[in-house]
Structure 1
Amino acid sequence: MKNLQDAKKKYEEVEIPMELNNIVKNSIKEAKRKQKRRKPVKQWGIGLAAAAALFITSVNVSPALAQSLSSVPMLGSIVQVVTVQEIKIAEDNFNADISTPNVTGLENKELEQMLNDKYIAENEALYDNFQKKMEEMKAAGGGNYAVNADYEVLTDTDSLLVIQNRNLEIMASGSESATYDNIDKEHELYITLPSLFKDDSYVQVISAYIKEEMKKQMANEEVVYFLEEDGDGFASILPDQQFYITADNKLIISFDEYEVAPGYMGMVTFEIPTEVIRDILISDYYIK
């Protein structure tokens, strides 16, 4: 309870521009909602055969990893992202390489804990699913299966931090997906797509632009997109579509592999021109 009170006090003491009031309220609400949904993280169970080459390394037990972390650049003045755990499995035709990030240095410990718990829970679920599929495939006579999970800091400025978490699953074919965490380092807020806009009209505005951009690209380049008029194709972004903000304050909308295009195109992204959305933005604080 004391931690929650301290976090609330820090929110109240931070001087925030008036134009960010709605963003602040939405971000606090989102953080608290996710905090309530968070479940205790259990110890990962490792039930592999002795022949498996399984390596779990962490900052606490691996001097080599700890040494490599010393070269990770500081994000802003205090915020840092490091690899807190790595899991590597190599057994016959089954492979897993899972890296879990950890954010440190935020004064808003509630936000920091929310992010780190999310990263652990996501990779725990990924590992559990890998283990389950591997055992099922072994029981059925074998096969090939691999998963890879890693992360990358896409944006690192005085005010913004964007972490991309990328997953690749390979069986008969590959499937790549990504999620993004956009963080206001200056005010220590979690930025959601809806929090950037005055109302939900952004869904239609951005979707209309992307549809036209898809058509232009297909007319001028050797690319293919799944369009709504061609059948079961792209109709609209989701209200919480994956996105990130670049270092030069541009909005990028991201789609997973196969979501709007054939697999050979991989994940696809669209930069949304600021003039297209300027009138519906809450402010130009994040998107310029």
Structure 2
Amino acid sequence: MSKLNESKKQYNDIEIPSELEQLVSKSIQTVKMEQKKPSFKKLGIGIAAAAAIFVASVNMSPALAQSLSTVPILGSIIQVVSVQEIIIEEDTYNADLKVPNITGLTNKELENSLNEKYIAENKVLYEGFQKEMEALKEVGGGNLGVVSTYEVVTDTDEILSISRYEANIVGSSSTTMRTDTIDKKNEILITLPSLFKDNGYIDAISNYIKDEMAKEMEADETIMYWIASEEEIGFETIRPDQTFSITADHKLTISFDKYEVAPGSMGVITFEIPSGIIKEELISDYYIR
């Protein structure tokens, strides 16, 4: 049996456990046990064929995708794959949880800490969903739904930004977004405060966002933001841990969860910050230009 077919069989033979922690741990252990690195000669395929298999495999077999990451030519392509997807469909109770996994960093301490965090986030969601589902069943039933997914928002030679979304999909649904931004060359996690000399950036960015909110509302009466004033409670300043990302063209974006600064109908809201208004606050123009 070829190495490729063997990897497919190993993935298809993986049993889905009842608990998220067991499921994720088993997927990770399967990958760690892959000691032999396949080569193109052993697989008997050319570069074009390998690329086709790679595209298909990431979607249908995360374990196979991680196995292929050991191939030198493909290794640099693989940044984030799904460890596993948990789907629960039981009458009016629905959950769809995707667990991302970052691969390819030589800084294993950073790689492991991020992946462990993603596992923990989904474990909390899974256990919370199970508890709420059982509580609803005890009082006669109800509707319950939760979704977690992720998106690679930036992937360049320098930057990897991965956003994770958690959404309650029943009733007045809520959505939260968390983003990690990694310096791929230096293999460090970038935080918002680490980009700036001091806390002066908070007022600079916050004032710009409030001005943009006011302009959007003036231009379109269907748009509504909650801006703090003497009469109203609302958005005043961003937090030091505000969700942010760095785009492929080195621009800073700031994001707000659903309901954080506006009605739920506007969803997750993101503002791109002009580099000119924060230029004097930046430590350097290495990340933001």
TM-score (norm 1): 0.76
- Quick one: distance in 1 between partners of 2:194 and 2:265? 33
> Cα gap change, 1:192/1:76 in structure 2, threshold over 3 Å: closer, same or farther?
farther
1:65 is aligned to 2:64: no
- Quick one: distance in 2 between partners of 1:67 and 1:178? 26
Give 2:87's aligned residue.
Answer: 88
Question: In structure 2, the residue corresponding to 1:228 is in which secondary structure?
Answer: coil
Question: In structure 2, the residue corresponding to 1:284 is in which secondary structure?
Answer: coil
> Cα gap change, 1:246/1:285 in structure 2, threshold over 3 Å: closer, same or farther?
same
What does 1:197-276 align with in structure 2 at a 5 Å threshold? Answer: 197-221=196-220, 222-229=222-229, 230-276=231-277
- Quick one: distance in 2 between partners of 1:67 and 1:254? 32
| Cα deviation, residue 77, structure 1 | 2.8
Q: Quick one: which amino acid aligns to residue 113 of structure 2?
A: M
Give 2:144's aligned residue.
Answer: 145
| Cα deviation, residue 69, structure 1 | 3.6
What does 1:166-205 align with in structure 2 at a 5 Å threshold? Answer: 166-205=165-204
Question: In structure 1, the residue corresponding to 2:61 is in which secondary structure?
Answer: helix
Q: Deviations over 1:125-165 (max 9, x none)?
A: 11111111111111122111111111111101001000010
- Quick one: distance in 2 between partners of 1:161 and 1:113? 16
- Quick one: distance in 2 between partners of 1:164 and 1:284? 23
Report runs of 4+ in structure 1 exceeding 6 Å deviation.
Answer: 72-76
| Cα deviation, residue 180, structure 1 | 0.3
- The structure whose Rg is larger is 2
Q: Is the 8 A contact 2:196 2:282 kept in 1?
A: yes
Give 1:162's aligned residue.
Answer: 161
Q: Is the 8 A contact 2:75 2:104 kept in 1?
A: no
What does 1:25-44 align with in structure 2 at a 5 Å threshold? Answer: none
- Quick one: distance in 2 between partners of 1:195 and 1:168? 29
RMSD: 2.7
Give 2:281's aligned residue.
Answer: 280
Q: Deviations over 1:96-135 (max 9, x none)?
A: 0001011111011111011001000111011111111111
- Quick one: distance in 2 between partners of 1:176 and 1:154? 17
- Quick one: distance in 1 between partners of 2:285 and 2:180? 19
- Pick 1 or 2: higher relative contact order, CA cutoff 8 A, min separation 6: 1
Q: Deviations over 1:178-230 (max 9, x none)?
A: 10010000110100000000001111111111111100000002210011015
> Cα gap change, 1:45/1:125 in structure 2, threshold over 3 Å: closer, same or farther?
farther
- Quick one: distance in 2 between partners of 1:202 and 1:233? 20
- Quick one: distance in 1 between partners of 2:74 and 2:268? 26
Q: Is the 8 A contact 1:155 1:246 kept in 2?
A: yes
| Cα deviation, residue 80, structure 1 | 2.0
Question: In structure 2, the residue corresponding to 1:241 is in which secondary structure?
Answer: coil
> Cα gap change, 1:196/1:79 in structure 2, threshold over 3 Å: closer, same or farther?
farther
Q: Quick one: which amino acid aligns to residue 126 of structure 2?
A: Y
> Cα gap change, 1:148/1:198 in structure 2, threshold over 3 Å: closer, same or farther?
same
TM-score (norm 2): 0.76
Give 1:119's aligned residue.
Answer: 118
| Cα deviation, residue 66, structure 1 | 3.9
- Quick one: distance in 2 between partners of 1:102 and 1:189? 16
How many residues in Structure 1 have an aligned counterpart in Structure 2? 237
User: Structure 1 vs Structure 2: percent identity of aligned residues?
Assistant: 53
Q: Quick one: which amino acid aligns to residue 183 of structure 2?
A: D
Question: In structure 1, the residue corresponding to 2:161 is in which secondary structure?
Answer: strand
| Cα deviation, residue 67, structure 1 | 7.6
Q: Is the 8 A contact 1:146 1:171 kept in 2?
A: yes
